[in-house]
Amino acid sequence: MTVRRPEPIAQRQTYSTLDWSSTGMYAAMPRDVLLVVGDEIIECPMAWRSRYYETLAYRPLLKEYFHGGARWSAGPKPELRDAQYDHGWVDPGEDGPARLVVTEFEPTFDAADFTRCGRDIIAQKSNVTNEFGIEWLRRHLGDDYRVHVFEFDDPHPMHIDATLVPMAPGKLLVNPERVRRIPKLFKGWDVMEAPTPVIPDHHPLYMTSKWINMNILMLDEERVVVERQDEPMIAAMRKFGFTPIPCDFRNFNSFGGSFHCATLDVRRRGTLTSYF
């Protein structure tokens, strides 16, 4: 396995379009901005103005992969005008129905709202991913892939990889608070509920919950990278038949992500198959 890193880019520099101006946020989560499906790398039309130019940090790698044979495409570059956002949005609370910040004015989506599982792709609508964006991706990928859209018991949906995680053929990790009914697509699969997170209350977290402990990284069908201090998750992985690889990463959690967010696998051995 070879690990490549993004290029540093200036985040304090102001940029603008005809309708708005912003500064950048970070380039720490390639899983959010780039979606790899087969031999294609897709730049995502993200809904946050502060992430408008985030893929520039990965441009040297994208060019290199393209010259190496990969297909390189991009979703429609969004305008991100005020019409894209629900300006009357209020927090629904933990028990209220989800009310999304993004409208259907134009297609936007983050790659982290999609989970690849062979020929099937699991998706959710969220505060950055709208129905327009999901439909754009479905048509772009064509008949080789099936896109399934699920809704979970999450009043603040934002990225699916701390809600439902296919770990290996026939094995599924779920958030017990958000997935109270297993989708029929996974009928017959072994399901494990993620253990309660142990991140202390005083640990700073940005735009995420303690369920970021589910943001694991599968290296293959047996080995999984897990936060070293999350002993309940390590024990649960062993019981579920996996080999956990503990790694210190809690300080990174403060940025709103973990192992899955901070990585993007561009090559994996094996053949494209269907697990359903």
Torsion of CA 163, 166, 172, 176, to 10 degrees: 0
Q: Is residue 110 annotated as a catalytic residue, yes or no?
A: yes
| Amino acid at residue number 117 | C
**Residue 258 main-chain phi, psi, to 5 deg:** -145, -150
Q: Which of 159, 161, 230, 260 is catalytic?
A: 159
Lateral strand order in the sheet of 223-227: 217-218, 223-227, 243-247
In this structure, what token pair is assigned to residue 175?
């958030």
Q: Which of 44, 113, 117, 261 is catalytic?
A: 261
**Residue 24 main-chain phi, psi, to 5 deg:** -80, 175
Collapse the DSSP code of 18 into the 3-class scheme (helix H, G, I; strand E, B; otherwise coil) and give the result: coil
Q: Is residue 159 annotated as a catalytic residue, yes or no?
A: yes
| C-alpha span between 45 and 148 (Å, rounded) | 20
Q: Is residue 117 annotated as a catalytic residue, yes or no?
A: no
Are the CB atoms for 196 and 217 separated by under 8 Å? no
Are the CB atoms for 190 and 170 separated by under 8 Å? yes
Q: Which of 32, 44, 110, 113 is catalytic?
A: 110
| C-alpha span between 173 and 212 (Å, rounded) | 13
Which positions are annotated as active-site residues?
110, 159, 261
